[in-house]
Structure 1
Amino acid sequence: MSTPEAALLERFYAAFARFDAEAMAACYHPQARFSDPVFPALEGDEVGDMWRMMAVRAQDFRLQPGGRVMVAGEGRADCVAHYTFSPTGRPVANPIASEFRFRDGLIVEQRDRFDFWAWSRQALGAAGVLLGWTPLMRGKVRGQAAQGLAAFRTKRGRPAR
């Protein structure tokens, strides 16, 4: 049985496959929250700006969709994001498990999970192999990502958080 939430996830993942950040951002509630191992606490328009920044930086992006499940107005979805990590030029295949909550026909919360150490080994090479499991490396990657998003938002005339 199709629901409005299921249709929204289909629209979101179709936009993700095209890496159409504007269409992805349009799927989020104004009070949306997003978290993953790199961006642990984005809110509101930061979520759309994260996708906009990533779309600008993406190289060789391809999305391999997985399963989607809707249960009592909440959703889960799996996919594998394939891309070249631009700072190192290394190829990445990142399996992502997402959980969604909805409000007013839009995504109000998205929690993405992936294996940070597996990601860091691919994206960062030797440094990821040696240090990717450590809180130090995770903190460094998070800090660089936050700085990148803040600079992107400032360039667009949005306040950095």
Structure 2
Amino acid sequence: MHANEQIIQKFYTAFQNKDGQTMVSLYHPEIEFQDPAFGHLKGKEAVAMWLMLIEKSQNLTIRFSNIKADDTKGSADWEADYSFSKTGRTVQNKIHANFTFKDGKILIHKDHFSMWKWLGMAMGPIGYFLGWWPALGNKVKKEAVTGLQLYMKRKRM
């Protein structure tokens, strides 16, 4: 197994174990993270996001597969099952992740998933029927980033 495949495996195994410190230790100091829910995060924001998600998760289950990597790039598929805190609805999010590595760490981490499908699971019929509408996705992203900023302020990050 390539060293960067081992990094990806260690990252998701730590996520399964709700070990945020190990997860973020695998990130480069110049980390850039991107996904449909939080948008583009850099540095401390990307680190804080994982710590916040783990701290807030109550019934989170993580599965991962299809890990591939070479000297500079990698990818994996992963699934997160949990209850969305605002509605209590069950979410089964299927995500494809792409990674870029530098100095034996994850420099860029991009998660790709269908925001429309996520909104349908998390918000029910309203999310399903309006999930295609950019304004709803933007509202969710704004709430996610605001929640992250409040978390960072509380944790003095």
Q: Deviations over 1:74-105 (max 9, x none)?
A: 10100111111111101110000000001111
Q: Are 1:153 and 2:152 counterparts? A: yes
Q: Corresponding residue for 1:61? A: 60
Unpaired runs of at least 5, structure 2: none
Stretches of 4+ moved more than 2 A in 1?
none
- Secondary structure at the aligned position of 1:6 is classed as helix
Deviation at 1:71, TM superposition (A): 3.7
- Report which structure shows greater RCO (CA 8 Å, sep ≥6): 2
Give 1:122's aligned amino acid. Answer: M
- The answer to whether the Cα contact below 8 Å between 1:59 and 1:86 also exists between their aligned partners in 2 is no
Q: Corresponding residue for 1:108? A: 107
Q: Corresponding residue for 2:37? A: 38
Count residues with an aligned counterpart: 157
Q: Corresponding residue for 2:86? A: 87
- The answer to whether the Cα contact below 8 Å between 2:59 and 2:82 also exists between their aligned partners in 1 is yes
Give 1:60's aligned amino acid. Answer: N
Deviation at 1:72, TM superposition (A): 4.5
- The answer to whether the Cα contact below 8 Å between 1:73 and 1:101 also exists between their aligned partners in 2 is yes
- The answer to whether the Cα contact below 8 Å between 2:79 and 2:94 also exists between their aligned partners in 1 is yes
* Alpha-carbon distance between aligned partners in 2 of 1:24 and 1:12, rounded to the nearest angstrom: 5
- The answer to whether the Cα contact below 8 Å between 2:4 and 2:70 also exists between their aligned partners in 1 is no
Unpaired runs of at least 5, structure 1: none
Give the TM-score normalised by structure 1. 0.94
* Alpha-carbon distance between aligned partners in 2 of 1:137 and 1:6, rounded to the nearest angstrom: 36
Question: Among the aligned pairs, what percent are the same residue?
Answer: 34
Give the TM-score normalised by structure 2. 0.96
Q: Corresponding residue for 1:131? A: 130
Question: More displaced, 60-69 or 88-97?
Answer: 60-69
* Alpha-carbon distance between aligned partners in 1 of 2:20 and 2:83, rounded to the nearest angstrom: 18
- The answer to whether the Cα contact below 8 Å between 2:4 and 2:71 also exists between their aligned partners in 1 is no
CA RMSD of aligned residues (A): 1.0
- The answer to whether the Cα contact below 8 Å between 2:72 and 2:102 also exists between their aligned partners in 1 is no
Q: Deviations over 1:115-153 (max 9, x none)?
A: 111011000112201211110101100000010000000
* Alpha-carbon distance between aligned partners in 2 of 1:55 and 1:42, rounded to the nearest angstrom: 17
